């Protein structure tokens, strides 16, 4: 396993992040525990979850599953860099969502209880809260750090200017601020390159891409369809994404076939090669999917291949001339 620092922090994390969104909904607790054990066997130490993951609102089922895995002992908790999130509603009453000081306090204590741990290593805002001032958020976060309940803080789904707001507010309080931003980022969704990636690099945040294969569309979906295998990207919003960009996906799978590599592994390898990316979140439903993802760490994409991928999935550039972050300039 390869390791890197999370942003400008001193925290060492694996370059593949174990996403747990499927735990309890699409993957049984027994299989979830087996996947986490196998992740440790491979050296994956960075686990990502959220208080909203699971089958029902407010239940925190995924965190409970992880907590029961920690409770089995054997150094599981100490070997894990644990990240969770808060923002989404956990109930129907006021203050059961968002980033008010009240909800942050309640959400952290509830997550700690479900996770059966005394600390959260990386606590992430699941979304920007436009109604709560940064002074209130950082004051609440400062208390959590003093109490030892949270060690580092991060964001998710932030715009570049949100990152700037957060960091400048933290700077005014002489706080470390955010060390990570979790954004949707893959070959088909590259909008973060315009402002989020530059802002993250400037302020010292490690970028943690989620949905690295665009819901499976970049996992070799057309080949799987020809082979008669059921795929997640065959329905819903992912089916629409495939229909809209089918020619590009066909060209991508042809490029991967020419490399002799699985499209899923190439998609992850491309992210691993991006400047400022800490590591993509992989969400395996099975041990086999987890084992296969490790191949991405061994793939080195040369300049011609990277140029070919850019030709298939062009980077965003509003005026078509300059690369980010100067894409808006003339």
- Active site members: 53
Within 13 Å and on the Cβ side, how many CA atoms surround 151? 13
C-alpha distance from residue 67 to each of 105, 112, 270 (Å): 19, 9, 33
Rounded distance between C-alpha atoms, residue 155 and residue 148, angstroms: 19
Residue 310 CA to residue 307 CA, distance in Å, equals: 5
Contact 219, 231 (CB under 8 A): yes
Strand partners, 182: 156, 208
Structure tokens that stand for 4 in this block: 């890197």
List of residues 6+ apart from 43 with CB closer than 8 A: 1, 3, 14
The dihedral of CA 65, 71, 77, 83: what is its sign?
positive
Cis before 325? omega within 30: yes
Q: Work out the angle at residue 212's Cα, subtended by the Cα atoms of residues 58 and 20, and round it to the nearest 5 degrees.
A: 30
| Residue 2, both tokens | 């390869």
Long-range pairs for 137-142 at CB < 8 Å and ≥24 separation? Answer: 137/99, 137/101, 137/104, 137/169, 138/169, 138/170, 138/173, 138/175, 139/101, 140/101, 140/104, 140/105, 141/104, 141/175, 142/173, 142/175
Beta bridge partners of 156: 182
């Amino acid at each position: 396993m390869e390791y890197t620092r999370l942003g400008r922090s001193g925290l060492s994390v694996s370059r593949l992040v174990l996403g747990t969104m499927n735990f309890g909904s699409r993957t049984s607790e027994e299989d979830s525990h087996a996947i986490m054990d196998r992740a440790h066997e491979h050296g994956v130490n960075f686990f990502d979850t959220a208080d909203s993951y699971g089958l029902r609102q407010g239940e925190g089922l995924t965190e409970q599953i992880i907590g029961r895995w920690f409770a089995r002992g054997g150094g599981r908790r100490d070997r894990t860099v644990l990240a969770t999130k808060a923002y989404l509603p956990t109930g129907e009453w006021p203050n059961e969502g968002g980033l008010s000081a009240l909800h942050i306090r309640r959400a952290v204590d509830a997550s700690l209880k479900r996770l059966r741990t005394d600390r959260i290593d990386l606590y992430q805002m699941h979304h920007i809260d436009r109604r709560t001032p940064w002074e209130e958020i950082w004051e609440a976060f400062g208390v959590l750090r003093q109490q030892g309940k949270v060690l580092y803080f991060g964001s998710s789904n932030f715009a570049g200017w949100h990152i700037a707001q957060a960091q400048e507010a933290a700077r005014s309080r002489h706080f470390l601020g955010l060390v990570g931003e979790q954004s949707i980022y893959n070959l088909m969704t590259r909008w973060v390159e315009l402002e989020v990636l530059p802002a993250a690099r400037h302020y010292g945040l490690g970028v943690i891409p989620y949905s690295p294969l665009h819901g499976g569309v970049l996992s070799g979906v057309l080949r799987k369809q020809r082979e008669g295998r059921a795929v997640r990207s065959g329905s819903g919003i992912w089916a629409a994404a495939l229909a809209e960009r089918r020619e590009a996906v066909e060209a991508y799978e042809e490029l991967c076939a020419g490399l002799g590599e699985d499209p899923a592994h190439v998609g992850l390898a491309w992210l691993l090669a991006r400047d400022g990316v800490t590591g993509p979140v992989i969400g395996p439903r099975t041990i086999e999917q987890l084992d296969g993802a490790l191949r991405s760490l061994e793939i080195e994409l040369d300049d011609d291949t990277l140029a070919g991928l850019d030709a298939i999935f062009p980077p965003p550039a509003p005026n078509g001339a300059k690369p980010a972050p100067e894409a808006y300039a003339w």
